[in-house]
């Protein structure tokens, strides 16, 4: 599996890279099919917007060219793009050098088919997401909250964990975005305080609206989640997983979940 740094095959990074020292950067995880990244424009838009917010001087044309060549060589699998601020001296003051592009590859995860067909059980994580509007929505390199949350369970019975913010609002899964369906309305949490604004989440919202499905992006309390008609998760690698259980609450796999799951599968398989 290839690994590149700044457009060239490589297996190491300089010790002074700010991504290593401070998590000063962003990343994207993309499914690659037939040498092309799936949902490329959404991934590029998110990393570009993230660089603008972090004041990292991204060369979007160079990045696009490197990514196209890397995915063509990979063919099939997963491409992980990391953009760091580049090299820096000791101290938090941002460096003014060139950003660094890291591209890593891996095989597509072999998720159990029952996750998509029968649904998954959510683990109720006690780790809470801190509220930081300046970083909310970004897929930045600081993922220690997710590391702590994922360490909370080791059993195979839970495929994902439910994460809430410090105020108790429902936000997302550890590596997924979350939707619920209530009275025919598709609802997903507002991510203006914390959480990752996933590319599959954005795609499903746009597709649902185009189909005339009522959609809402707003705060969700735990009681509303527990009272929902349908619940599902999504990300850019597996598409859509129905949620069938959270502790003693069980949900059926509903019709809207299946409709959006089929749309996601089409995107990932084409």
Question: Considering only CA atoms, which of 135, 96, 108 is closest in space to residue 33?
Answer: 108
* Catalytic pick among 66, 160, 172, 203: 172
Those residues with Cβ within 8 angstroms of residue 126's Cβ, 6 or more apart along the chain or in another chain? 152
Q: What CA–CA distance (Å, rounded) separates 208 from 244?
A: 21
Contact 125, 152 (CB under 8 A): yes
Known catalytic residue: 80?
A: no
- Please, is 141 exposed, middle or buried when counting C-beta atoms within 10 Å of its C-beta (0-12, 13-18, 19+)? middle
Place of tokens 């300089």: 14
* Catalytic pick among 29, 84, 188, 257: 29
Q: What CA–CA distance (Å, rounded) separates 158 from 112?
A: 12
Q: What CA–CA distance (Å, rounded) separates 1 from 4?
A: 10
Contact 32, 2 (CB under 8 A): no
CA atoms 110, 113, 119, 120: torsion sign: negative
Known catalytic residue: 172?
A: yes
SS3 1: coil
- Please, is 44 exposed, middle or buried when counting C-beta atoms within 10 Å of its C-beta (0-12, 13-18, 19+)? buried
* Catalytic pick among 139, 160, 188, 257: 139
Known catalytic residue: 139?
A: yes
Active site residues: 29, 139, 172
């Amino acid at each position: 599996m290839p690994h590149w740094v700044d457009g060239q095959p490589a297996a190491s990074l300089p010790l002074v890279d700010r991504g290593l020292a401070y998590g000063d950067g962003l990343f994207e995880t993309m499914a690659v099919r037939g040498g092309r990244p799936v949902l490329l424009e959404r991934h590029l838009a998110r990393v570009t917007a993230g660089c603008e917010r972090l004041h990292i001087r991204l060369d979007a044309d160079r990045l696009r060219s490197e990514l196209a060549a890397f995915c063509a060589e990979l063919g099939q699998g997963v491409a992980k793009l990391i953009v760091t601020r580049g090299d820096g001296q000791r101290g938090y003051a941002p460096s003014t050098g060139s950003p660094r592009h890291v591209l890593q590859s891996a095989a597509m995860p072999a998720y159990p088919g029952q996750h998509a067909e029968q649904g998954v059980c959510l683990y109720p994580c006690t780790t809470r997401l801190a509220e930081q509007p300046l970083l909310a929505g970004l897929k930045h390199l600081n993922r220690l909250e997710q590391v702590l949350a994922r360490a909370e369970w080791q059993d195979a019975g839970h495929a994902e964990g439910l994460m809430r913010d410090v105020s108790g609002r429902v936000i997302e899964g550890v590596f997924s975005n979350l939707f619920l369906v209530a009275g025919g309305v598709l609802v997903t949490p507002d991510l203006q305080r914390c959480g990752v604004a996933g590319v599959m989440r954005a795609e499903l919202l746009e597709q649902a609206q185009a189909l005339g499905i009522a959609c809402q992006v707003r705060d969700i309390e735990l009681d509303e989640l527990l009272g929902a008609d349908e619940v599902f998760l999504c990300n850019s690698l597996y598409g859509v997983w129905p949620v069938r259980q959270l502790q003693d609450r069980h949900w059926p796999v509903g019709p809207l979940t299946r409709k959006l799951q089929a749309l996601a599968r089409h995107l990932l398989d084409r």
